[in-house]
């Protein structure tokens, strides 16, 4: 076996032991390969980031600090932290204020000068739309009347 195959077999054994330690007994064999792929991809991404940090710091080799910085930056970017106490208190205070009810006649429109379409145009569009709906209903009724229901 090549050295890479030995490492893959060792990693697969480690993943199996991890699953057993978590009392996972039934799983498909492909699960181990999936875990290996995630493990290798994550390691490659972290090492690539660490190499960039090391290069940026003009260091000839990757050291522990570069790897730790790569891990910390991944955690910071991918894991959502719970909000601070101040943010929670501000949210609770804001949430305690009741939201005003909208007027009963519908959604309030902005002033006429701020609208792209005038109120008159809106009424015409609405009438046109209602007429189209009424025509479709009449057509459906006429079509239904021309084909009587045989079960009736």
pLDDT digit string, tens, across residues 112-126 = 888 888 878 888 888
Range among 33-42, 82-91, 103-112, 120-129 rated most confident: 33-42
Query: pLDDT tens for residues 42-80?
Result: 999 999 999 999 999 999 999 999 999 999 998 888 777
Lowest mean pLDDT among 48-57, 84-93, 103-112: 103-112
The CA distance from 16 to 36, in Å, is 11
0.75 surpassed by pTM: no
CATH, range 3-87: 1.10.20.10
């Amino acid at each position: 076996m090549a050295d890479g195959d030995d490492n893959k077999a060792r990693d697969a054994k480690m993943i199996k032991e991890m699953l057993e330690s978590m009392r996972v007994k039934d799983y498909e064999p492909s699960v181990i390969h999936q875990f290996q792929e995630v493990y290798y991809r994550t390691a490659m991404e972290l090492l690539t980031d660490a190499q960039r940090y090391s290069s940026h710091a003009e260091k000839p080799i990757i050291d522990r600090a570069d790897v730790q910085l790569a891990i910390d930056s991944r955690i910071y970017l991918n894991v959502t932290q719970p909000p601070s106490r101040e943010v929670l208190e501000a949210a609770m205070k804001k949430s305690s204020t009741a939201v005003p009810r909208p007027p009963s006649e519908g959604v309030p429109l902005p002033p006429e000068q701020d609208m792209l379409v005038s109120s008159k145009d809106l009424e015409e569009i609405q009438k046109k739309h209602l007429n189209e709906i009424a025509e479709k209903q009449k057509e459906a009724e006429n079509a239904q009347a021309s084909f009587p229901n045989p079960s009736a």
